[in-house]
Structure 1
Amino acid sequence: MSAPATMPDSGGRGDTAAGAPAQTHTSGAFDLGAAWVLNPKVALRPEPFGALLYHFGTRKLSFLKNLTVVAIVQSLAEQPSAEAALAEHRITHAERPLYLQALGALADSGMITRR
């Protein structure tokens, strides 16, 4: 398994559109113990390089450039916590900071939300 090559790319757009706030997590660190899910307002389109995420509420487009991150995001709805999703994909202790950073960025941008 490879570590995420890059963070989700927002394409330069802000987190809000038409005055609507993006759904975010409010803590400074990503909560691994919480149950997360792909935001229902977000479409995920798999691509050979990873995936495109489009948020219909904020009109924000993000690129996931790592297939393991895509698989983790897709499995969040089936797992009791983000911790369980990382374990399912055999993310090692050394790899965790990169994946936590990616998940935190997705949560901050409203692409994933708490269940």
Structure 2
Amino acid sequence: MSTASPDFRPERPHRCSPSVALRPEPFGALVYDFVTRKLSFLKTPELVTVVSGLADHPDVHSAVEAAGVPEEQRPAYLRALAGLKASGTIEERPQ
């Protein structure tokens, strides 16, 4: 499955970056990186669930599935997660 970043490998374990805080909002969440001081947004509550659950799963695919993302929407979520990896919001974690 193609993603926006060749550096993003959804078969590997990931987590929310330690320098990032998520603040849930009705639309999704505010994302603040305390290192870069960058503010961004997660635009759906489902994406917040995926990002928040990454550390609890052996790979990204499992986190997306556990969040209940329908099969037909998974490619879009993987593209969004690739963008979050490229921006430093999420990172690959050691196995």
Q: What SS does the corresponding residue of 1:44 show, helix, strand or coil?
A: strand
Give structure 2 stretches of 5+ with no counterpart.
none
Match of 1:45 in 2: 23
8 Å contact 1:76–1:85 — kept in the other structure?
A: yes
What displacement does 1:40 show? 0.4
What displacement does 1:29 show? 5.7
Supply the AA of the counterpart residue of 1:43.
A
Deviations, residues 58-97 of structure 1 (Å, cap 9, x unaligned): 1111111101000000000111110110111232332111
Instruction: Give runs of ≥4 in structure 1 deviating > 4 Å.
Output: none
Identify which range, 29-38 or 62-71, moves more after superposition.
29-38
Match of 2:10 in 1: 32
What is the RMSD of the two structures over their aligned residues, measured on CA atoms?
1.3
Q: Distance in 2 between matches of 1:44 and 1:96?
A: 22
* Percentage of pairs with the same residue: 46
Count of matched residue positions in the alignment of Structure 1 and Structure 2: 89
**1:78 aligned onto 2:56:** yes
Q: Distance in 2 between matches of 1:101 and 1:61?
A: 20
Give structure 1 stretches of 5+ with no counterpart.
1-26
